[in-house]
A and B are shown apart, each in its own frame.
Chain A
Amino acid sequence: MPEFLTRQSLSLIVFSYALVIVLLADQVNAVLIIFGVLCAAWRIALFTGRVTALNKIITNSISVVCIAIIVLMVYKLGVLNILVHVILLGFSLKFLELKSVRDVHFFVNTGLVLVAVFLVFNHTILMASAATVVACLLLMILLSIHGAALNTKSQLKMLSKILVLSLPLAIILFLVLPRLPSMWQMPLQNKATTGLTDSVSPGSIAELSQSSALAFRASFNGEPPKGQARYWRVLTLDEFDGKTWSQSSSLKREERRARRGQQIEYELIDKQSSYQLILEPHYKHYVPSLDFAYSSNDSSLLSDFSLRSIDPVYKRQAFEIEQYKQVDGFVNTAKSLQKYTQLPNKIAAIDNPKTREWIDNKLAAGIDKYTILEQLLTMFNKGDFRYTLKPPLLGEQQIDDFLFSSQAGFCVHYASTYLYVARVLDVPARMVAGYLGGEWDNSNEFLSVRQYDAHAWVEIWKDKQWVRVDPTAYVSPERVEQGILQSLDDQSEFLSGQYLSLRHWQNNQLFNQLANFLDRADYFWAVWVINYDNQKQLEILKRLLSNIPWLNLSMLILLLLFLGATITALWIFKPWQAEKLSIEDRLFNKLYEKVTEKYLTRSKGQTVADYCKTLGELKVNAQSSLLKFATLYNQIKYQASLTSSQKSLLIAELVVLRKAISKQCKR
């Protein structure tokens, strides 16, 4: 087989293949990548002449085996994952039969599909830029094949020219094309990237996993809340089994109901402000919110005041949220509050003896239970307690261990200890997990909240309402006021080990600026590009439409449809290229189409009259009409002296005659 690829084309193909693999490395099984590398290596070996081409049977059997292996490996991961794997496998196996330009076309198209798939999973501007680069490389392959005569420089020039030329079209498509909801179920497993989990066991965490990944961004319409008020509620942990705090089954049930769209009647009073959240995909239903929230997007408020989206957030998604001062309608009876005083070994009362003893002593001294709780906070503040992200592990009696021996930990430790004491005192209390704080960008336009801003605090039932208590604030007020970096005694704990993260280098001026710049770009990317949805489309259209009075939406859609249809029709029929046929020629062509297969083909130089004459000799019953047809045709076409009325008469005659001949020829 002669090699049709140039060295440049093949290296481009292999290079862009490698980049596509890198892009999708997170999504695909390692075995598949090994397959791909083998295939690419084989193709290079074929190019250098070390191996010979495979025949079709071998290629096909390799394909079948590979597909079987891959499908067996990934069939549990959901339709989308299987699809991604199969496409990528086909993409890799294409190396085995890269034999013609058509195969390269196939390769490039598949690559573009894979780039699109990559964009399903990734939404940041950096990733979008990376995807664009790979797409351009793929297009460059086409140029290197079809424009082989050009040198690399002019190929690049041409590529950029084509890209610039296609930009307006891309923008128009982006603005106008309707956004369809995704047609597949996003795979949810193994995807929880949030810093929050729905259960927390303070004793067993030696080191808080830190991630500088973005959780969400918020921009406020009006005055933004101060640092102390930026408690972003996500979920409530109200059940304790002695080690782990988790969500009770009644809360879980409520969540499930909310997902189905059923929600409890409630009333929000006294609107304060509103803000927009741009949530990074975390594949769960959580929507962080400030108390008390209402969102017009598909979401509902649970009785613990947390907000849940009806669909999981599997892409960057914007939520418009209104903040209210009060909420009314969630009735907490004494019975319903009971679960908030639940402790696993309450009756046995054998665990954490030191803590219980401390409480009992206070109670015996006749101190009010709320005062005891305040004393605990004072103890956190004045005592030897330390805020650290690397706490020691706790023993069997973890509350005792923490309160009286280790005295070091992060938010969860303090919250859980406080909760334990409150519940022993029969004060209804629950842990709230969420985010605290966030970081303003340089121009104070939006707040970025990252996974390392995750926080846990406590709410206790006091004076017939839930009151927020943040025990961590007593240990490390800086955590609340300024953020996590400032709260750490040893700042090297922050994002330790994550040297690749720009955030790790926050103390470096340059990196800090770069990080901020990227952040800003990404924010606007999210606001204007990722979240450009049908609603925004409509808004922009409406704004445009209000400038043109006679145009309303339905008119515009009709107009667009009409324009689209016209352009398509022009594109298909290309009237500027079509031969302009006169009526008599069209009539003849019609006649000719009917008779040509059956009787006689006109040779290229044959005139109509001659053809009719010859046909008449073959088809005697139509001979006279055919001769008449020829005469009429010649008259109409060549007799310049005809007036237009004479001409139209003759044409009418010709029309009749053509039908007659068609009939005669059928017989």
Chain B
Amino acid sequence: MHDKIAKILAQLNAVLLGKERQTKLALVCLLADGHLLIEDLPGMGKTTLAGALARTLGLDYQRVQFTSDMLPADILGVSIFDKQLQQFTFHQGPVFTQVLLADEINRASPKTQSALLEAMEERKISIDKHTYPLSDPFFVIATQNPQDQAGTFPLPESQLDRFMMRIELGFPSKDAELLMLKGQYQPQSTEAIIDSLQLNEMQAAVRTVQASDAVLHYLIRLIEESRYGAEYTNALSPRCSKVLLSAAKAMAFIEQRDYVTPEDIQAVFAAVTDHRLNGVNGFKKGGQALSQTLLSNVDPLQ
């Protein structure tokens, strides 16, 4: 199983040059059965990563480009009267897929954004008294532009909380960009390395990773710090502590361990908590991120 993971990572890194940390986190997020939010400026490779991820894991995916005039039905699907059958039939929207690539999610109106809420949390949608289960696995990989760009609606805290992780890609290194421009770098065709069944197995394996009391106490101290420290305006929710643990477990799994260490928690901490700590204000430009302040305030050795 682990060599598969190495292959997956290798392939992803071949698509996105010099972003090992981000690709690893993205994979962690999917292994921990969480939704991923990729936030960065346009043209940084957000969509490329999302697509590569879906393809590499052998999942079928739908891409939806969010716009400001988009309606919930455009995502969930719509019931249309069928003349032959003399009844309404439900036409599934793009959400009925394994990976939903929600491109530029913050361009859509809050109404549309909230249509995703139930789908993301409950993994089912309800339309016209009918409840339709979504496929398993089901991931939302959303990309988002920074909010200070024109024509964006900031995601509300409730919806931010449903994303397990938010990652930023950042500019590529000079060497990677040079390599890209010279055209020497030819992305190989991204092929599926595993299928969705294998992914399910991996997710099950992630759930068996152990977390000792020591590491759980460390995690709880971190969460508590966010609740009692003065500088944190948004405290971390119990849901956050739950997903933090699953993410850490997935990280441990990727690192080929069957137990969680504080390093795992620290590795995923920023991605899991930054968007929750900052809330609608988005990430701060410059200065230390809140998650880093929090990490440096809690001693793992206590």
Residues of B within 8 A of A608 (CB): 262, 300-301
Question: Are B261's CB and A640's CB within 8 A?
Answer: no
A606 contact set on B, CB distance < 8 A:
300
- Check A607 against B266 for contact (C-beta < 8 Å): yes
- Residue A509, interface by CB 8 Å: no
Given contacts A637-B212, A637-B214, contact A605 B298 (CB under 8 A): yes
Q: Which of A342-388 contact B (CB under 8 A)?
A: none
Cα distance A610–B258 when bound, in Å? 19
Cβ–Cβ contact B263 & A607, under 8 A: yes
- Cross-chain contact A605 with B295 (CB below 8 angstroms): yes
Q: Which residue of A lies closest to B213 (CB)?
A: A640
A272 interface contact, C-beta 8 A: no
A609 to B267, CA, bound (A): 12
Tell me if B215 is interfacial: C-beta within 8 Å of chain A: yes
List which A207-260 residues lie within 8 A (CB) of chain B: none
The chain A residue with its CB closest to the CB of B292 is A605
The residue that A603 contacts in the complex, of B212, B214, B296, with Cβ under 8 A, is B296
B132: Cβ under 8 A from any A Cβ = no
Taking the nearest CB of chain A, how far is it from the CB of B217, in angstroms?
A: 11
Within 8 A of B (CB), among A621-638: 634-635, 637-638
**Within 8 Å CB of B212, what residues of A?**
637-640
Tell yes or no: A585 within 8 A of B by CB: yes
Query: Which of chain B's residues have a CB closer than 8 A to the CB of A55?
Result: none
- Does A604 reach chain B (CB closer than 8 Å)? yes
Contact A607 B302 (CB under 8 A): no
Could you tell me if A638 and B260 are in contact, using CB atoms closer than 8 angstroms?
A: yes
Please give me the residue from chain A that is nearest to B212 by CB atom: A640
Structural contact, A604 and B259, CB atoms closer than 8 A: no
Structural contact, B302 and A579, CB atoms closer than 8 A:
yes
Which residues of the other chain, B, contact A610 by a CB distance below 8 angstroms? 263, 266
Interface contact B301-A585, CB-CB below 8 Å = yes
CB distance from B162 to the nearest CB of A (A): 27
B148 interface contact, C-beta 8 A: no
Q: How distant is B253 from chain A, measured CB to nearest CB, in Å?
A: 14
- Interface check B173, CB cutoff 8 A: no
- Tell me if A641 counts as interface (CB < 8 A to partner B): yes
Whether a CB of chain A sits under 8 angstroms from the CB of B299 is: yes
Please measure, in the bound complex, the distance between the C-alpha atom of A579 and the C-alpha atom of B302, giving whole angstroms.
8
Q: Please give, as numbers and ranges, the residues of chain A lying within 8 Å of B210 by CB-CB distance.
A: 639-641
* Contacting pair A607 B298 (CB below 8 A): no
Residue ID in chain A nearest B295 by CB atoms: A605
Contact A638 B261 (CB under 8 A): yes
Contact B295 A634 (CB under 8 A): no
**A639-B212, A640-B212 known; A604 vs B261 contact (CB < 8 Å):** no
Cβ-based interface call for B297 (8 A): yes
User: B259, A639: Cβ atoms under 8 Å?
Assistant: yes
**CA of A1 to CA of B259, assembled, Å:** 62
Closest to B266 in A: A607
Structural contact, A638 and B259, CB atoms closer than 8 A = yes
Q: How many residues of A contact B (CB 8 A)?
A: 18
Query: Given that A640-B259, A641-B258, A641-B259 are known contacts, is A605 also in contact with B296, CB under 8 Å in the complex?
Result: yes
Cα–Cα distance between A606 and B150 once the two chains are bound (Å): 40
Residue of B nearest to A606 (CB): B300
Asked whether B263 lies within 8 Å of A604 as measured between CB atoms, the reply is: no
Q: Given the known A-B contacts A638-B212, A639-B210, are A605 and B300 also in contact in the complex, defined by CB atoms under 8 Å?
A: yes
Q: Kindly identify, within residues 211 to 251 of chain B, every residue whose CB is under 8 Å from any CB belonging to chain A.
A: 211-215
Q: Render A635-664 as a binary contact track against B, CB cut-off 8 A, 1 for contact.
A: 101111100000000000000000000000
Rounded to whole Å, the gap between the CB of A340 and the closest CB of chain B is: 92
A609–B259 touching, CB < 8 Å:
no
A603: chain B residues within 8 A (beta carbon): 296
Chain A contacts for B211, CB-based, 8 A:
638, 640
Do the beta carbons of B214 and A604 come within 8 Å of each other?
no
Docked CA distance A225–B213 (Å)? 84
B255 CB to nearest chain A CB (Å): 10
Which of A588, A609, A638 is in CB contact (< 8 Å) with B215? A638
CB neighbors of A among B285-300 (8 A): 295-300
A664 to B260 Cα, complex, angstroms: 30
Q: Closest CB-CB distance, A585 to chain B, in whole Å?
A: 6
Contacts of A585 in B (CB 8 A): 301
**What is the 8 Å Cβ interface bit string for chain A, positions 571-611, against chain B (1 contact, 0 not)?**
00000000100000100100000000000000111111110
Set of chain A residues within 8 Å of B215, measured between Cβ atoms: 638
Quick one: CB contact mask for A50-76 with B, threshold 8 Å, 1 for yes? 000000000000000000000000000
- With a CB–CB cut-off of 8 A, which chain A residues contact B259? 634-635, 638-641
Bitwise interface map of A from 181 to 213 toward B, beta carbon under 8 Å scored 1, else 0: 000000000000000000000000000000000
CB distance from B35 to the nearest CB of A (A): 27
**A634 and B261 form a contact (CB under 8 A):** yes
Chain B's closest residue to A605 (CB) is B296
Q: Which residue of B lies closest to A637 (CB)?
A: B214
Q: Is the CB of B299 within 8 A of A605?
A: yes
* Residue in B closest to A579 when the chains form the complex, CB atoms: B302
Min C-beta distance of A638 to chain B, whole Å: 5
In the complex the two chains form, what is the Cα distance from A369 to B297 in whole Å?
A: 110
* Residue in A603, A605, A606 whose Cβ sees the most chain B Cβ within 10 Å: A605
Give bound CA distance, A550 to B210, whole Å. 55
- By a CB distance below 8 angstroms, the chain B residues around A638 are 211-212, 214-215, 259-262
* B260 & A604 in contact (Cβ 8 Å cutoff): no
When each residue 266-298 of chain B gets 1 if its CB lies under 8 Å from chain A and 0 otherwise, what string results?
A: 100000000000000000000000000001111
A588 / chain B contacts, CB cutoff of 8 Å: 301
Interface centre among B260, B266, B296, B301 (most CB of A within 10 A): B301
The distance from the CB of B268 to the nearest CB of chain A, in whole angstroms, is: 13
How long is the Cα–Cα vector from A610 to B212 in the complex, in angstroms? Answer: 19
* Contact A607–B261 (Cβ < 8 Å): yes
**CB nearest to A639 among chain B residues:** B259
User: Can you give 16 A-B contacts (C-beta < 8 A)?
Assistant: A604-B297, A605-B266, A605-B295, A605-B296, A605-B297, A607-B262, A607-B301, A608-B300, A608-B301, A634-B259, A638-B211, A638-B215, A638-B261, A638-B262, A639-B212, A640-B259
- Give the 9 A-B residue pairs with the shortest CB-CB distance, closest first: A605-B296, A640-B212, A639-B259, A607-B262, A605-B295, A634-B261, A607-B300, A638-B212, A640-B210
- 19 additional A-B residue pairs with CB within 8 Å, beyond A610-B266, A638-B211, A639-B212: A579-B302, A604-B298, A605-B297, A605-B300, A606-B300, A607-B261, A607-B266, A607-B300, A607-B301, A608-B300, A608-B301, A635-B259, A637-B212, A637-B214, A638-B212, A638-B259, A639-B259, A640-B212, A641-B210
